[in-house]
């Protein structure tokens, strides 16, 4: 029995290296125990085709791109069983069915898709609910955001933030890692200090005023809103401090809108 401990997060680099070693020695999934410190990978093997070395001969195997894409997302999930699942699927693709990833009714494949879907949704939430606040960094404007993802999805969205805010100096802090962009270089920092994020900034009051003005009480659907923007995200979004009062006042505001409309 081989025990592999992955101490990094998301852990796909360590998983990739360990999986290559296990495959090279022909170790099946049931003989591998995956652990993390508490118990994204399209270039998993450097190339799509890899030579497996054995004592007497060599076997060539091919990893489908669709499988590599799923591994990339699934390995960013917070589920501690993700390493074992991905290695088991990898082994089965090589030794059982190279088209395994297409069998949507297979239990392992269903689990893999579920992990990937959850990570993709979590990454989307980051782009939708993250809010920057401005601070002065040695005379330069610098925008900082604190965000608490459900999974290890920060790295997945970095291309989005680099493209959208390429001319802005920013930092995104999460409980496990921070990303810092100075308009030219991106670098990562583990276990950042959330206290560097300011409580508010000079432009936040304008955003709150804008948000309050675009709120339409006649179209409020509380359940739909909570489904799309669960309350667990609210503490890091300044505009959510207004929502409860706006919902309470929505009936009166909608009534006033109707009366004012009838006057015209």
pLDDT, one tens digit per residue, over 226-256 is 566 566 655 555 545 545 555 565 545 444 4
Global confidence as pTM: 0.70
pLDDT, one tens digit per residue, over 169-196 is 999 999 999 999 999 999 999 989 888 8
Q: What pLDDT score does 114 carry?
A: 97
Strand ranges (E), the chain = 2-6, 32-36, 49-53, 58-62, 133-137, 140-146, 170-173, 177-181, 186-190
Nearest to 210 by CA among 242, 250, 251, 173: 242
For residue 87, how many other CB atoms are within 10 A of its CB?
22
Q: What pLDDT score does 131 carry?
A: 82
Q: What pLDDT score does 100 carry?
A: 94
Instruction: Please report which residue ranges of 75-129 form alpha helices under DSSP H.
Output: 82-95, 107-129
Round to whole Å and give the CA distance between 192 and 38. Answer: 19
Q: What pLDDT score does 93 carry?
A: 95
- Count the helices and strands in the chain (H runs, E runs): 8, 9
**Position 153 pLDDT exceeds 80:** yes
pLDDT, one tens digit per residue, over 90-142 is 999 999 999 999 999 999 999 999 999 999 999 998 888 888 888 877 778 88
């Amino acid at each position: 029995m081989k025990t592999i401990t992955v101490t990094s997060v998301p852990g796909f680099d360590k998983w990739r290296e360990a999986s290559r070693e296990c495959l090279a020695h022909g170790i099946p999934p049931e003989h591998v125990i995956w652990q993390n410190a508490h118990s994204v990978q399209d270039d998993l093997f450097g190339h799509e085709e890899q030579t497996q070395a054995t004592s007497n001969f060599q076997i060539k195997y091919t990893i489908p791109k669709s499988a590599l894409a799923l591994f990339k997302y699934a390995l960013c999930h917070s589920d501690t069983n993700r390493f074992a699942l991905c290695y088991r699927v990898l082994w089965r693709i090589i030794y059982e069915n190279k088209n395994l990833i297409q069998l949507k009714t297979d239990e392992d494949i269903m689990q893999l898709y579920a992990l990937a879907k959850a990570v993709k949704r979590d990454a989307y939430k980051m782009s939708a609910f993250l809010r920057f606040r401005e601070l002065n960094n040695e005379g330069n404007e610098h925008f900082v955001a604190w965000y608490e993802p459900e999974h290890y999805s920060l790295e997945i969205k970095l291309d989005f933030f680099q493209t959208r805010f390429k001319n802005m100096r920013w930092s995104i802090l999460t409980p496990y890692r921070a990303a810092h962009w100075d308009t030219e270089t991106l670098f990562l920092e583990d276990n950042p200090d959330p206290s560097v994020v300011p409580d508010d900034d000079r432009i936040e009051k304008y955003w709150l005023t804008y948000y309050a003005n675009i709120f339409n009480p006649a179209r409020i659907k509380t359940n739909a809103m909570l489904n799309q923007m669960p309350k667990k995200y609210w503490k890091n979004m300044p505009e959510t401090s207004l929502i409860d009062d706006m919902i309470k006042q929505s009936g009166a505001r909608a009534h006033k809108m109707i009366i004012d409309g009838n006057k015209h």
